[in-house]
């Protein structure tokens, strides 16, 4: 059983479609937009789980419903996410709460509620949707970058705890993905270096990571691993390069 959050559009919808093509998985599909989610479910054969993850009660209900529907979740793909772009001094306080709730808090809660059953069954795969913004920080996206960076630390910590348990963690770090994400946040992508990749490319990488169980970290496109490593080894050098080239 695969639970995909954010499955009503973008990366989540592409992931649902890719797993459906495989034909070996039952799908539980979460989304906020019930109409679009129903359309994705109709073409993938998935079960609709409509919920707004800005409310922690809904995250808890989603996890319980998923367990009750399937007896346990084998794979969680936490693809739900929102963004906000602009100077940090301008971001409304409710927007901070919303970004942190959807991109971080709801993910942590879902994992906490689904993980014990995975450990008990000694199998499971948790796919967390990070971002290159969380690996290197991005100008005018301070809160979003912070949430994604926290997910990266969360993934690392879980890997240590879960050694030998049969449960694996995969962190996905895409660059710019061609989805409605930027339209919904109300600000277009300003990065002129990163070429948008299709959501289907991200979904294919996620599917391969789940099926082959051999990747704990996915940079999409792969060359993004280099700036992330430079940032880790020589952050001052990276910042100078970023200031010069964007």
The residues facing 172 across adjacent strands are 129, 218
Residues designated as active site: 144
Determine contact, residues 145/134, Cβ cutoff 8 Å: yes
At 197, give phi and psi (nearest 5°).
-105, 150
d(CA 85, CA 144): 8
At 5 the three-state DSSP class reads strand
Q: How far apart are CA 195 and CA 201, in angstroms?
A: 13
Provide CB contacts within 8 A for 134, sequence distance 6+: 145, 146, 147, 148, 149, 150, 151, 152, 173
Query: Residue 170's closest CA among 206, 121, 135?
Result: 206
Q: How many helices (H) and strands (E) does the chain have?
A: 11, 9
């Amino acid at each position: 059983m695969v639970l995909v959050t954010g499955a009503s559009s973008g990366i989540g919808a592409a992931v649902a479609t890719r797993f459906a093509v495989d034909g070996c998985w039952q799908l539980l599909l979460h989304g906020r937009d019930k109409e679009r989610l129903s359309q994705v479910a109709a073409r993938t054969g998935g079960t609709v789980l409509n919920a707004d993850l800005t409310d922690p009660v809904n995250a808890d209900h989603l996890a319980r419903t998923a367990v009750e529907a399937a007896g346990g979740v084998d794979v969680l793909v936490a693809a739900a996410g929102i963004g906000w772009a602009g100077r940090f001094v301008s971001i409304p306080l409710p927007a901070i709460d919303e970004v942190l709730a959807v991109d971080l808090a709801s993910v942590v809660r879902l994992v906490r509620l689904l993980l014990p059953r995975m450990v008990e069954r000694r199998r499971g795969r948790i796919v967390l949707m990070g971002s290159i913004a969380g690996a290197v920080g991005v100008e005018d996206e301070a809160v979003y970058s912070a949430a994604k960076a926290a997910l990266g630390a969360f993934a690392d910590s879980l890997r240590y705890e879960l050694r030998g348990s049969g449960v694996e963690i995969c962190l996905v770090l895409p660059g710019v993905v061609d989805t409605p994400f930027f339209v919904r946040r109300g600000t277009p992508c300003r990065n002129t270096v990163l070429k948008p990749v299709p959501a289907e490319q991200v979904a294919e990488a996620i599917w391969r990571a789940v099926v082959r169980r051999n990747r704990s970290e996915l940079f999409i496109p792969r060359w993004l691993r280099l700036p992330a490593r430079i940032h880790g080894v020589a952050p001052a050098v990276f910042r100078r390069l970023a200031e010069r080239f964007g």
